Amino acid sequence: MSHLDDKVILITGGTGSFGQQFTDTTLKDHNPHAVRIFSRDELKQHEMAQRLRHDSRVRFFIGDVRDKERLYRAMKGVHIVVHAAALKQVPAAEYNPLEAVKTNIMGGANVIDAAIDNGVEKVIFLSTDKAVRPVNLYGATKLVAEKLCVQANAYAGGQKTRFSCVRYGNVVGSRGSVIPLFLEGRRNGVIRITDERMSRFWITLEQGVRFVVDCIARMAGGEIFVPKIPSMRLVDTARTLAPNARWEIIGMRPGEKVHEELITADETPRVKEFATGYIIEPQHSFWDPMRNGDATPVPSDFEYRSDTNTAWMSPAELKACIADSGGHLDDVSVLTGDGDAEP
């Protein structure tokens, strides 16, 4: 029996690309009692409802994570919450900082309160590599959200609710990411590159969803889970997607890093490795290491950076990832969706 079978699952930001993929995977591979989609966009909810109209297990709640009262209502009877709602566009967060704080930080706090008070069993927050030593506001808000999530296990007191995070890199083809931009450059013959040294972690939407599903089964509360994913240099991405385009080097934008990190040296003493990823253990007494008994400590000099990664994505693998995401190299529009905005 699957760990999602007969469960009531709520997904915040459920009409985003992750939420829709998570819903499809859960309905196909498991047998939940219900999947509740919680989001602000009535049009996306209508379109998703039309696509899934033959599946009576799906429910739709219009709401915003900023609205605690609405969250309380939506979480009645829920067993598992996947918190995917966020303002994710890096430039938009820089220009509208208080809006990002209200959604990404205060919204996360509302999810925590509503989950504890409704007796939810498990809550998993989605985070990002940009939360690691953040240089932009989006990353900073996600760092705070991670801290809130981990400490929520102590905040829950004697309640049964447990909280964990999943932290991963850029989603292939996500809205605002570099891949749709490079595909557009393939059409018009000009590629704009911020810095030729840059490297990035990449993960497909389906890989991200399946990793989250696995982590829901693994979590004891307080962990930050990090998947094993490949890196690729920005210039190699450009050569793969637009081999005949002319390059323009435009310089780094505000809030960008040359390389990304998923695990820092400061976190290494608390990191353990398992077959498909890493676990950053919390420092608090609520941790139960027996839940992840197959994980082993990493070497003392371990760091997980996009430039020193041991796994690198080949051009063929990148093209396959784009195809698996539902797109192909001559179609930009099908690659758009929610995800981290910074290339």
> Active-site positions?
130
Secondary structure class of 281 (helix, strand, coil): coil
**Exposed/middle/buried for residue 82 (C-beta within 10 Å: 0-12, 13-18, 19+):** buried
Q: What are phi and psi of 22, to 5 degrees?
A: -60, -45
Which of 231, 216, 244, 209 lies closest to 81, judged by CA?
A: 216
Give me the torsion for CA of 210, 76, 155, 125, rounded to 10°: 20
202's tokens: 């990449």
* Cα-Cα-Cα-Cα dihedral sign, residues 169, 171, 174, 179: positive
Where residue 278 falls (left for φ over 0; alpha for ψ -120 to 50; beta otherwise) is: beta
Q: Please measure the distance between the N-terminal and C-terminal CA atoms of the chain and give it in whole angstroms.
A: 40
Secondary structure class of 18 (helix, strand, coil): helix
What's the rounded Cα separation, in Å, for the pair 26 and 23? Answer: 5
Q: Facing residues of 12 across strands?
A: 38, 83
105's tokens: 């930080």
Q: Facing residues of 191 across strands?
A: 247
Residues 6+ apart with CB under 8 A from 271: 263, 278, 279, 280, 281, 297, 298, 302
